[in-house]
Amino acid sequence: MTIATFNPQLRLLNALRANAKPIMTFLGLPSFRTAQIVAQTGLDGIIIDCEHGHISDDSMHSATAAIASLGVSPLVRLRMTHSDLIKRALDAGAHGIVVPQINTAAEAQTVVSYSKFPPQGLRGQGSAFPAFTHSIDLPTYIKTANETLITCIQIETKQGVENVEEICAVPGVDMIFIGPNDLALSLLGYVPARGDEPEFVEAIDKIVAAARKHGKWVARLSNNGALCREHLKVFDTVALSYDIRALQNWYTGELQVARS
């Protein structure tokens, strides 16, 4: 991300480059309207969750277009590192991808190779849709995609932490995302972490240090606004909870008031 190709449509990328501490969230519901509603809240990016969310290929396409049309950056979290999943997300017009459970540098290199057009990678070209969500013509998209798409990988296992230096050194990886729940399960055997367990704290510190050393942006999940504010003192961006949790929490809280 050293080449300064600028596109005003790429809200998340531009905020990261400006060190403006952007805030994202996760979208797990397969609804074009939910995507629109969440995109109108002031967020900078929305991660369409094809790993844990109820998101089909059709829903991913619709959400990507809806989010981008409102000036917010859609990212897609994939199920795994398969080339066809990466291709589908980027061909739908995602401004970036988030790939879970990366444990080795070789896995990170695989993700990068499928995310980049030749000569930097192996990505094929055949879709007109990405140019729409980037608000540019297709030749310009093809020319600039390798510089402007965010390739984000998740480190959320003990093995990933052990290999974090090598993973962060991989060229073409732009961002490291810490999945605190899976990281806690892997390191501690339970979830959620209290947050003060030495092994858990040391792992997060190690990931952040490696990302900084190798010039990668670093992100994490935050469960509420107060935690977002604290985490943004350390991290370049955070994901503020999840659309499903937001619905649950609002109804739970309001019902408690109504029945009190």
Active site residues: 52
* Per-residue burial over 214-236, b = 16 or more CB atoms within 10 Å of its CB, e = otherwise: bebbbbbbbbeeebbeebbeebb
Q: What is the rounded CA–CA span in Å between residue 64 and residue 74? A: 5
Q: What is the rounded CA–CA span in Å between residue 149 and residue 157? A: 25
Residue type present at position 206: K
The DSSP H or E segment spanning 94 is: none
Q: For residue 139, count other CB atoms closer than 10 A to its CB.
A: 9
Q: What are the beta bridge partners of residue 176?
A: 153, 218
Q: For residue 5, count other CB atoms closer than 10 A to its CB.
A: 14
Q: For residue 54, count other CB atoms closer than 10 A to its CB.
A: 12
First vs last Cα of the chain: how many Å apart? Answer: 53
Q: DSSP letters along 12-60, please?
A: HHHHHHTT---EEEEE-S--HHHHHHHHTTS-SEEEEETTTSS--HHHH
